[in-house]
Structure 1
Amino acid sequence: MAETMEGTQVSRRRMRSERKRAAILDAAEALFVSEGYERTSVDAIAARAVVSKRTVYDYFEDKQGLFLRVLERVDDALVAAVREAIEQEITEGRDLREALTAFASHVATETFPSSTYVTFRRLGSPRGAIPPSAEHVRDRPERLLEERFARLAASGQLRVPDPRRAVQHFTALTIALALDATDDEPAAAAGQAEIAAIISDGVDAFLRAYR
């Protein structure tokens, strides 16, 4: 009986700890996005999370470490969305042009408008003042596409000497241009027809170079 009570207490302490950690991350994300990295203080994060400043340091050591955890959490959600788009759209046996167009459209119309992606963009902007140690978490979505492009090359559907460069070219010609078109206004205002035309032209240009 005593062991059961002790286990219950440990479980409750763990749950309280997890709730505090999540509250700190939520508060830090909101402030980093709205105020930027440099202007956000640990005091402000602690106040918003309703914990002590000491608690913030106990969980995350310093502001830079906390920022990295926030960026990684946002990036995890973005990676999951990109992985889902790859698995749904760039499938074996599907026409390559159709697959690439569907993938870019999926990301541009479903991932871009998401709050997670907006957060990621704002945290990754110059205003966010990303610490150098956080830079490595930003290229994970591209790595997923590199792996798929390498598979397409192995099956003879693409000529890709350098998958990383191919992904850079593909995203620049399609997704990045679609993002530019929606940066100043929502995708609905920019026009689905315009987004579709940007992606279609970009896929054609990419395939002329890599197929």
Structure 2
Amino acid sequence: MATARATMQTPGRRQRSESKQAAILDAAEALFASEGYELTSVDAIAVRAKVSKRTIYDHFGDKQTLFHSVLVRVGDSLTATVRQVIDEELTKGRDLHEALTAFALRLATEAFPSSDYVTFRRLTSRWQSAPRLPEGADEHPERLLEERFAALAADGEIRVADPRRAVQHFKALTLLLALDALDDESASSAGDPEISAIIADGVDVFLRAYR
């Protein structure tokens, strides 16, 4: 009969395993973001993480799976940020113009400049040769906002036949324009008054269409 030691890890071994896995993900994220998928080797990741190549293969199987794991981890962190901002800003009973403006402004000033968001953009758009996540796997934040827009529609706050399309319009009018301005070298920072003006104007246009 198999012993407990043979069939399960002790807490100490589990903790060491999780620590190594986190170190590997940290190293891989940094190298994939700075060097790109093709130029980043498993050897380089192992050296940076201070583990053996065998340990990386034991945890992740291959470089592509490791890259996917990095994307999922960074994406999950961004999703958690968006969920928190939705819960704190798009609250029931709050003036909708004020709520939508505060929501978009927090994303522009907190999520966009964050290391997680910068890394995610580099990993998903800068390196064209990198493997992609399955279609729809990176849309969790949008789905959260769709759910909140559907709830706003149910409460009579907005007129929405298709929450997904409404989210696309809201993003285009506010967040994407703000992101373009932040990407422009002439824009100083997320605190630039231009960003606030872009978002305020976008919310005005959105509510004229959906109220």
Q: How high is the TM-score relative to the length of structure 1?
A: 0.90
Unaligned runs of 5+ in 1: none
1:176 aligns with: 176
Q: Quote the offset at 1:182 in angstroms.
A: 0.9
Query: After superposition, what is the alpha-carbon deviation per residue over 1:45-69, rounded to whole angstroms, capped at 9, x for unaligned?
Result: 1121121212111100111111111
Determine the C-alpha separation between the residues in 1 that align with 2:156 and 2:129: 42
For structure 1, which segment, 35-44 or 89-98, has the greater mean C-alpha deviation from structure 2 after superposition?
A: 35-44
Q: Distance in 1 between matches of 2:118 and 2:132?
A: 21
Contact 1:122 1:128 in 2 (8 A): no
**Displacement after TM superposition at 1:128 (Å):** 5.6
Q: Which residue does the alignment assign to 2:146? A: 146
CA distance in 2, matches of 1:181, 1:104: 14
Q: Is the 8 A contact 1:104 1:174 kept in 2?
A: yes
- The residue matched to 2:51 in structure 1 has which SS? coil
Q: Flag as ranges the 4+ runs of structure 1 deviating above 2 A.
A: 132-137, 184-192
Tell me, yes or no, if the aligned pair for 1:146 and 1:167 is still in contact at 8 Å. yes
Q: Secondary structure at the match of 2:23?
A: helix
The residue aligned with 1:54 is 54
1 CA distance for matches of 2:28 and 2:204? Answer: 42
Name the CA distance, whole Å, in 1 between partners of 2:69 and 2:145: 24
User: What does 1:71-86 correspond to in 2, within 5 Å?
Assistant: 71-86=71-86
Partner of 1:167, secondary structure, is: helix
Q: Could you tell which deviates more after superposition, 122-131 or 99-108?
A: 122-131
Give the Cα–Cα distance (whole angstroms) in 2 for the partners of residues 91 and 198 of structure 1: 22
1:8-48 per-position Cα deviation (integer Å, ceiling 9, x unaligned)? x8222111111110111001000110011122121211121
1:103 corresponds in structure 2 to 103
Moved more, 117-126 or 198-207: 117-126
Counterpart Cα distance in 2 of 1:178 and 1:157: 25
Stretch moving more, 183-192 or 35-44: 183-192
- Secondary structure (helix, strand or coil) at the match of 1:57 reads helix
Name the counterpart of 1:122.
122
**CA root-mean-square deviation:** 2.2
Secondary structure of the residue that 1:65 maps to in structure 2? helix
The offset of 1:72, in angstroms, is 0.9
Structure 1 pair 132–190 and aligned structure 2 pair: CA distance change class (3 A):
closer
Counting matched residue pairs gives 206
Which residue of structure 2 lines up, in the alignment, with residue 91 of structure 1?
91
Show CA shifts across 1:175-206 (max 9, x none).
11111111244975465311111001111111
Q: Secondary structure at the match of 2:137?
A: helix
Query: 2: CA distance between counterparts of 1:107 and 1:54?
Result: 40
Which deviates more, 123-132 or 149-158? 123-132
